[in-house]
Amino acid sequence: MKYTVTRLILAASILSVSAAFAADPSEIAAHAKSYTTAGETVLAMVNSKKVDSEAVAKKTDTMVADGMWIAEEYLKLKPEAAKWFKAVFDNIPAIKKMPYEEIEKNWHDGHHFDGKEKEIGINHQEEKNEHFRDPLDSVTHALLVQRAAKDFSTKPDEESLKRMKSDTAEGLEQFKKAVAVVSKK
């Protein structure tokens, strides 16, 4: 009997601690709506081929902020990648100044972290850690869209439009996957 009571108390404690880390469903919905609305607005501009790079910058800044929020909620459930995420988030001002190809290679594909497993506390290339890409890439794709819009403003071309469209769509998809994980709790 004493063993069963102890197990029940332990189970209740674990559930209450888990609930303390769980995001409020209305907060999740608000960030999901914000990210999605911003992304859909960018896609509408791209589809019309009337891209205002300053408007895209504002929308992608919203996407970055919402992506960081969902990533932080994700880390509450799966904290192993906290140093990795922090390293990316700390570098966002510098990333915004980089050429598209550099952002894609070093920050989206993660080559900035090659050989830095001890520094970031995780091997980002291992398949078992692939799921961390969803919340993180909801941020990096928004940064790629912002760069492509800047490139388009100086040299309007189909390649920049294609990049904005595909990166926005991928960011939306990966944000949705991260939301699904955080919503499950």
Residue 133 lies in a domain: yes
Residue 19 lies in a domain: no
E-state strands within 97-137: none
pLDDT band at 15; cut points 50, 70, 90 = very low
Residue 13 lies in a domain: no
Which of 112, 103, 108, 88 lies closest to 147, judged by CA?
A: 103
CA distance from start to end of the chain: 30
Q: How many CB atoms lie within 10 A of CB 157?
A: 11
Q: Per residue in 50-79, pLDDT tens?
A: 999 999 999 999 999 999 999 999 999 999
Q: Per residue in 89-129, pLDDT tens?
A: 999 999 999 999 999 999 999 999 999 999 999 999 999 99
What is the DSSP track for 59-88? HHHHHHHHHHHHHHHHHHH-GGGHHHHHHH
Residue 105 lies in a domain: yes
Residue 12 lies in a domain: no
Domain that holds residue 158: 25-184
Check residues 14 and 153 and name the one with the higher pLDDT.
153
Number of domains in the chain: 1
Task: Compute the distance between CA of residue 143 and CA of residue 72 in angstroms, rounded to an integer.
Answer: 18
Residue 7 lies in a domain: no
Burial 31-51 (b: 16+ CB within 10 A, else e): bbeebbebbebbbebbeeeeb
Average pLDDT, the chain: 90
Residue 140 lies in a domain: yes
Task: Compute the distance between CA of residue 123 and CA of residue 121 in angstroms, rounded to an integer.
Answer: 7
At 35 the three-state DSSP class reads: helix
In the prediction, which pLDDT does 23 show? 84
Residue 46 lies in a domain: yes
Model confidence at 10: pLDDT above 80: no
